[in-house]
Amino acid sequence: MTTKEKRTDPIRIGIAGYGNLGKGVETAIASVADMKLSAVFTRRDPAAIRLKTPNVPVLPLDRAASWKNDIDVLILCAGSAVDLPEMTPALAEYFNVVDSYDHHARIDDHFNNVNAAAEKSGTLALVSAGWDPGLFSLIRLYNGAIFPNGNDYTFWGKGVSQGHSDAIRRVPGVADARQYTVPVESALERVRNGDNPQLSTREKHVRHCYVAAEDGADRGRIEREIKTMPGYFADYDTTVHFVTIETLRRDHPGLPHGGTVFRTGTTGTDAPNPYLIEYHVKMASNPEFTGAVLVAYARAVYRKARRGETGCRTVLDIAPAELSPLPGDTLRRALI
Amino acid sequence: MTTKEKRTDPIRIGIAGYGNLGKGVETAIASVADMKLSAVFTRRDPAAIRLKTPNVPVLPLDRAASWKNDIDVLILCAGSAVDLPEMTPALAEYFNVVDSYDHHARIDDHFNNVNAAAEKSGTLALVSAGWDPGLFSLIRLYNGAIFPNGNDYTFWGKGVSQGHSDAIRRVPGVADARQYTVPVESALERVRNGDNPQLSTREKHVRHCYVAAEDGADRGRIEREIKTMPGYFADYDTTVHFVTIETLRRDHPGLPHGGTVFRTGTTGTDAPNPYLIEYHVKMASNPEFTGAVLVAYARAVYRKARRGETGCRTVLDIAPAELSPLPGDTLRRALI
């Protein structure tokens, strides 16, 4: 499985959607030598968008299809709630695509829709890359496939949940908000100690909300509406901190995140021997970290598409070496 | 890449070498539903070996070839210094094989030798599985391929190094010994803090030796010979504890080990944003943990060989899903 490709032209990447994640992908492309950004597609007014990369066109998304011969892999940087379920199958008609679809419960449906579109068009797609789903999925797969006797634990944070921040912003009287998901340290410790605890939703994470209220808004009502919001906050111990909008923007400017995947259990039969696996990530910029994952998987998609593969894949289907720009012998010498 | 195989016969595994690792592989096979142990091959007297698994033959290693049609994958449980460089290519003539060859600097040579033998015979081999090389190699690959701007750190321990324990046992006057490799906690903390330190060999690990001396042996000389031993101890801060042989066997009966792989660096260009990835394993039984990895990779080798693949592979060439007995849609629903 050594990569014998000698093509030196950079892999031509397109970005569809230029929000935080699209910018993170752009940054990741600028960090690697074997790729170049060829075009950005947007549903906003292209004239209003200024890229960090010089001399790259910004075009209306509905003109993307005409670029099908000029882009090797298109990375879709849009939301999972409404956009990607439509966009990924639609754009897989024209392009090899990578997305970060993250509705865990619906990933297999999304996979099947994208697979049908890609098989029909002879393109290759990879869905649900990122860190969770993505890197954490890989770790969960390795852990469970290799160590059948054990328990999985996934914790998120400390970090900003954009979905929960948005949910707070929809409460009447809220001017802006930032929500931090924080793992409960004592729960992490119980897992690390090999206690194999049963943990409820409330026992695993707490939620801290920094909220700037509009002038004259009823803070008591806002706090109650946040804390009782079903699906987002009702099942958690939630703390609401009211701050001025200036403080919010000064003290909470970034999008840091992180998380931890554990597996704990035993090997052995007569004398069970405990083991612990802990995978932890921490990032100052969630969009840049996620963008780096998408770009590495775009490299794998490019290679596999050149070998004639079609249909849909996930990170579980990609051999690790496909992600690296380095040849197999270099990888064996440097990394094994 | 969904696995459509419906074969319900268990995968027939052979073990060559029945020391600690061979026993760990046997234990791992007993923990999975889709495999069975078919035979154990040994260079010792087969009559002297009693397996934990009932009704499995123990046979001389030099009769292994006659079992070529009765074993799907042969797992080689022998030493890397002398045995595997000969055994893996030789047995790849007859079998699909998996080994745990661990001389990092010579892995690419070993790979090429095994690849030539396997290609010639139409078999499939996977070398250097385990936790390091193995799981740690995977993590280093993912880290570096996805995050090009960063530094790698690998720490081992706290755990028993069998190679270092053996080296102490060769010192005249030593009856038995157990050597623990221990990472330096302050070095781990500097890495976790994102200091990106340059660490010397001495700054990363210390070595603790529990030594039972023979009656009348010169302990001062033994301690000096251990601490100045080139390649093993001279470059480390080494502590020697003399204990009785009864204490040694009572307090240090197991083969625990562990280790940590880090990558720290930045994403971003104008405003570099730090990230940290930490992968940590801890195991009470190194041979059982390693055995579980070998068995999961044997499953992948079996599947790929059935699809007609030949030659040599490493863990870097195996898509994660190939390790799991579960079908692709189940994996997507449960793990992504």
Q: Which residues in chain B are closer than 8 Å to A154, comparing Cβ atoms?
A: none
Closest chain B CA to residue A263: B281
Are the beta carbons of B31 and A296 separated by less than 8 Å? no
Confidence of residue B141 (pLDDT cuts 50, 70, 90): very high
Phi and psi angles of residue A243, each rounded to the nearest 5 degrees, phi first? -135, 165
Full domain range(s) for residue B257: 135-285
Same domain, B259 and B159: yes
Same domain, A198 and A314: no
Residue A5 resides in a domain:
no
Q: Is it the case that residue B87 has pLDDT exceeding 70?
A: yes
- Nearest by CB to B281, which of A144, A277, A288? A277
Are the beta carbons of A320 and B142 separated by less than 8 Å? yes
Last residue of some domain: A245, A266, A285? A285
Q: What number is the ipTM of this complex?
A: 0.95
Same domain, B184 and B197: yes
Q: For residues A133 and A103, give the distance between their C-alpha atoms in angstroms, rounded to a whole number.
A: 9
More confident residue, B162 or B134: B134
When divided into structural domains, chain B yields a total of 2
Residue A281 resides in a domain:
yes
Same domain, A21 and A159: no
- Nearest Cα neighbor of A133 from A88, A181, A96, A101 is A101
- Nearest by CB to B282, which of A276, A316, A319? A276
What CATH number is attached to the domain comprising B84? 3.40.50.720
Same domain, B196 and B211: yes
State the nearest Cα–Cα gap between A173 and chain B, in angstroms.
33
Q: In this structure, what DSSP letter does residue A113 have?
A: H
A 26-65: CB under 8 A from B? 27-28, 30-32, 52
Same domain, A117 and A171: no
Residue A106 resides in a domain:
yes
Same domain, B81 and B201: no
Q: Is it the case that residue A162 has pLDDT exceeding 70?
A: yes
Residue whose pair of structure tokens reads 């093509």 in the numeric block? A7
Are the beta carbons of B289 and A268 separated by less than 8 Å? no
Same domain, A301 and A178: no
As a whole number, mean pLDDT of residues B74-97 equals 96
At A72, list the tokens: 């090797």
Rg, Å, chain B Cα set: 22
Same domain, A158 and A214: yes
At A28, list the tokens: 């990741």
**b/e string for B189-213 if b means 16 or more Cβ within 10 A?**
ebbbebeebeeeeeebbbbbbbbbb
Last residue of some domain: A265, A285, A305? A285
Instruction: List beta partners, residue A265.
Output: A150, A275
Same domain, B175 and B44: no
pLDDT of res. A7 = 53
Are the beta carbons of B275 and A282 separated by less than 8 Å? yes
Residue whose pair of structure tokens reads 């695509």 in the numeric block? A97
What CATH number is attached to the domain comprising B271? 3.30.360.10
* Residues near B62 by beta carbon (within 8 Å), at least 6 away in sequence: none
pTM of the model: 0.95
Confidence of residue B134 (pLDDT cuts 50, 70, 90): very high
- Would you call B144 an interface residue with chain A, using a CB distance cutoff of 8 Å? yes
Residue B110 resides in a domain:
yes
As a whole number, mean pLDDT of residues A230-241 equals 96
As a whole number, mean pLDDT of residues B295-304 equals 98
Residue A6 resides in a domain:
no
A20-50, pLDDT tens digit by residue?
A: 999 999 999 999 999 999 999 999 999 999 9
A 257-316: CB under 8 A from B? 267-270, 273-285, 288-289, 291-293, 295-296, 313-316
A 69-98: CB under 8 A from B? none
Residue A1 resides in a domain:
no
> Which amino acid belongs to residue A189?
E
Q: Under a CB-based contact definition with an 8 Å cutoff, are residues B71 and B38 in contact?
A: yes
Closest chain B CA to residue A323: B145
- Would you call B320 an interface residue with chain A, using a CB distance cutoff of 8 Å? yes
A256-301, pLDDT tens digit by residue?
A: 999 999 999 999 987 789 999 999 999 999 999 999 999 999 999 9
- Would you call B333 an interface residue with chain A, using a CB distance cutoff of 8 Å? yes
pLDDT of res. A81 = 87
Between the two ends of chain B, the Cα-to-Cα distance in Å is 15
Residue A77 resides in a domain:
yes
B 124-143: CB under 8 A from A? 128, 133, 135, 137-138, 140-142
Same domain, A44 and A113: yes
Q: Is it the case that residue A1 has pLDDT exceeding 80?
A: no
Residue B1 resides in a domain:
no
At B103, list the tokens: 């001389």
Are the beta carbons of A275 and B268 separated by less than 8 Å? no
Between helix B328-335 and helix A135-146 the angle, nearest 10°, is: 120
At B135, list the tokens: 């799981």
> Which amino acid belongs to residue A204?
K
Same domain, B320 and B280: no
Closest chain B CA to residue A129: B336
